[in-house]
Structure 1
Amino acid sequence: MKQIVQHFDQLFKEYHQRSFLFAKSFVRIDAVAEDITADALMATWERMQEETLLSPRCFLLKVIKNKALDYLKHQRIHRQLIEPLDSWNEWELQLQIDNLNEINEERIFLKEIKKITEQALDTMPIKTREVFELSRHQYISGKDIARQMGISLKGVEYHITKALKVLTVNLKDYMVAS
């Protein structure tokens, strides 16, 4: 039990401040940002107890984004029903919601994704990596790769599928569920 608590303490120490500032940049109220941060850290920790997260930071960002978005939407509904709003406040709230909706986690973590992709490619057999790079980085057709490497078209497809499976596993925390 103590090991789990220490793990949460480590998660808290590493991500709390940045998470709080990220949440506050959208909700602008310290107490609300702190609640969102605490909930998001707890959700991340609970998920880490269920499965290995390759990037807890990415998961945490998604949770904060969703919780902040829920809060802002609730605020808008509350204001529409209870408080008379002038158009400026409504416009500002809508702008915050729109900005949060437009966050692209892939762009934020592009450097990290590239690094993980390179590391995954380095673990692959040489032929699989070469086929994948020719196909995806140099945009060479399967037929041309087969001819160039002296393997069958099915062999090219096999190596690309194998590489994609490895990348899918390594990048699972960065993929958006549909």
Structure 2
Amino acid sequence: MRDLIDALLGYARAGSAPVRALTVPLDAVVEEVLNDLDPQIVAAGARVRVAGPLPVVIGDPVLLRQLLQNLIGNAVKYRDPDRQARVEIVADGPAVRIVDHGLGIPPERREEGFGMFARVDGAVAAGHGIGLSSCLRIVERHGGTIAIEDTPGGGATVTVTLPGKESGPG
């Protein structure tokens, strides 16, 4: 019950607090997130790699950290049990892609995955179905976009595009 309450509070914070418009280097945020997630990464035997420099965006560093923690944590959590968990964080211009080689999300269930309490994994891993919903809320509040696609060879690629240094949140 405490985990559910914490998840709901995180969701509420993602949608209610004012979005601070600060310059945020995503390299630093990802480094903090990887330190936070280190016990889960080690326990999963996962390999996580940041490929190249990430963009500097305008946004709320606390909310952006929550966003990346959810996405990278999901990439580690929903791994394919038949292969080593691999996660790559890549910049593509203003977009950041979190690429995993895990279980993936069927195309017909991707939009549903952003809904509150949505579970598209068939209860493969523990959770409350609030993470992607919180991510969508954070991205929208920053005037950005988020999408899920297939990773070639299996898995999911989540692409987040946020306003860069030249523009601000919507």
TM-score, shorter chain, exceeding 0.5:
no
Max radius of gyration: which structure? Answer: 1
- Which protein has the bigger strand share? 2
Under a length normalisation based on structure 2, what TM-score does the superposition of the two structures give? 0.30
**Larger RCO, structure (CA 8 Å, separation 6 or more):** 2
Under a length normalisation based on structure 1, what TM-score does the superposition of the two structures give? 0.29
